[in-house]
Amino acid sequence: MKQYQSQLALIIALAVSLGVSLCSSSIDDYYLDIMLNVGINVLLAVSLNLVNGHTGQFSLGHAAFMAVGAYGSSIVTLEMGAAMIHVFGGHGWFAEGLTFLIALSIGGLCAAICGWMVGVPSLRLRGDYLAIVTLGFNEIIRVVLQNTSGDGPFGGALGLKGIEPYTNFFWVFATAAIAIYTISALVNSTYGRGFLAVRDDEIAGESMGVNTVRYKVIAFVTGSFFAGLAGGLYAHLRTTISPEGFNFLKSVDVVVMVILGGMGSTVGVILAAVVLTVLNEFLRDFEQYRMIVFSLLLIVMMIVRPQGLLPATVFQRRKQA
Partner 1 sequence: MSQFIQQLLNGLFLGSIYALIALGYTMVYGVLRFINFAHGDVFMLGAFTGLYLNKLMGPILAALPWPVAILIVLVLSMAICAALGILIEWLAYRPLRDKPRLNVLITAIGVSLLIEYTGQLVFGATQQPFPAIIPKVNVGGLGGLTVTMTQVIVSVTAVALMIGLRFIVMKTKMGMAMRALSLNPTASSLMGVNNSVVISFTFGLGSALAAAGGILYASLYPSIEPFMGILPGLKAFVAAVLGGIGNIPGAALGGLIIGVTETLVAGYSDVLGIPSGYRDGVAFVILILILLFKPSGLLGKVEREKV
- If one asks whether residue 259 binds partner 1 (CB under 8 A), the answer comes out as yes
158 binds partner 1 per the rule CB under 8 A: no
Q: Rule CB under 8 A: is residue 32 a binding residue for partner 1?
A: no
Torsion angle, alpha carbons of 69, 72, 73, 75, to 10: 150
DSSP 8-state assignment for residue 160: B
Q: Which alpha helices (H) appear in the chain, and where do they start and end?
A: 5-22, 29-49, 62-75, 81-87, 93-123, 127-146, 169-188, 193-200, 202-207, 212-238, 248-261, 266-282, 287-304, 312-320
Using CB under 8 A as the binding rule, whether residue 116 contacts partner 1 is answered as: no
Nearest to partner 1 of 15, 302 (CB atom) = 302
Distance separating alpha carbons of residues 46 and 52, to the nearest angstrom: 10
- Alpha-carbon gap, residue 62 to 134, rounded angstroms: 8
CB of 60 to partner 1, least distance (A): 7
Q: Is 279 in the site for partner 1 (CB under 8 A)?
A: no
Residue (103 or 197) nearer to partner 1, CB? 197
By CB atoms closer than 10 A (0-12, 13-18, 19+), residue 15 is: exposed
> For residues 98 and 301, which CB has a smaller minimum distance to partner 1 in the complex?
301
In angstroms, rounded to a whole number, what is the distance separating the alpha carbons of residues 134 and 120? 12
Part of the chain binding partner 1 (CB under 8 A), chosen from 117-125, 158-166, 174-182, 311-319: 117-125
Instruction: Output the CA angle 21-22-25, nearest 5 degrees.
Output: 85
Among 24, 146, 182, 280, binds partner 1 (CB under 8 A): 146
Q: Which is nearer to partner 1, 11 or 293 (CB)?
A: 293
Cα separation, 305 vs 321, in Å, equals 24
Question: Which CB atom, from 85 or from 145, has the smaller least distance to partner 1?
Answer: 145
> Cβ 256 to partner 1, closest distance in Å?
9
Closer by beta carbon to partner 1, 118 or else 180: 118
Provide the minimum distance between the beta carbon of 184 and partner 1 in the complex, in angstroms, as a whole number: 22
**CA–CA dist 280, 32 (Å, integer):** 15
- 244 touches partner 1 (CB under 8 A): no
Give just the sign of the alpha carbon dihedral 156, 161, 107, 245.
positive
Q: Tell the smallest beta-carbon distance from residue 19 to partner 1 (Å).
A: 39
Q: How far is the CB of 128 from partner 1 (least distance, A)?
A: 5
Please choose, out of 18-26, 55-63, 67-75, 106-114, the segment that lies near partner 1 by the rule CB under 8 A: 55-63
Positive or negative CA dihedral for 225, 227, 233, 236? negative
Q: Shortest approach of partner 1 to residue 49 CB, angstroms?
A: 14
In this structure, are residues 272 and 194 in contact, taking their beta carbons and an 8 Å threshold? no
Which residues ranging from 56 to 95 are in contact with partner 1 (CB under 8 A)?
Answer: 56, 58, 60
d(CA 146, CA 144): 5
Binding positions for partner 1, rule: CB under 8 A: 56, 58, 60, 118, 121-122, 124-129, 131-133, 135-137, 139-140, 143-144, 146-147, 201-204, 248, 252, 255, 259, 288-289, 291-292, 294-299, 301-303, 306
